[in-house]
Amino acid sequence: MKIVFASTPSQEQEICELIGHIYSNIFPLYFTDDEISQFEQLKVLHISKKQFDEIGTLKDAFQVMTSIQTVISILESTELNEQYADLFNKNAANLNELGLFFPFEFEQFENAKTMKPMMLSIYSKADNELLI
């Protein structure tokens, strides 16, 4: 008999927050709004209730969270360093194996950063908010 611990609702919430962080803080640094819109249509990092059920175990949920956090850490660094390429690609592959569609390789972000001019994005969080 094998005992398996199920993922918790707070882990599911954390995964959703990390995915939201990628869409609002990471993707706008590298891609245009049109490209990000295409990612949404292609369901990049989209997670449904069925996928949460498939991730199901505590171990899988932690792997998803760790892989997303690693990708975020690498992409938020001030300069993309080639020494992190293997680590990024390994974590991107982990996400795909765990059922989250993440069709990127490190080189795509390197190229995207050098080609994208600094612009405002509808996906970025506002720097300030009006309180009423």
Task: Say if residue 32 is exposed, middle or buried (CB neighbours under 10 Å; 0-12, 13-18, 19+).
Answer: middle
Among 12-16, 18-22, 53-57, the least confident range: 53-57
- CA–CA dist 22, 3 (Å, integer): 33
Tell me the average pLDDT across 2-18.
76
**Closest alpha carbon to 48 in 83, 19, 79, 80:** 19
Q: Read off the pLDDT band of 111 (50, 70, 90).
A: confident
The residues spanned by each domain of the chain are 9-102
Is the Cβ–Cβ distance between 14 and 62 less than 8 Å?
no
Is residue 105 helix, strand or coil? Answer: coil
Is the Cβ–Cβ distance between 80 and 29 less than 8 Å?
no
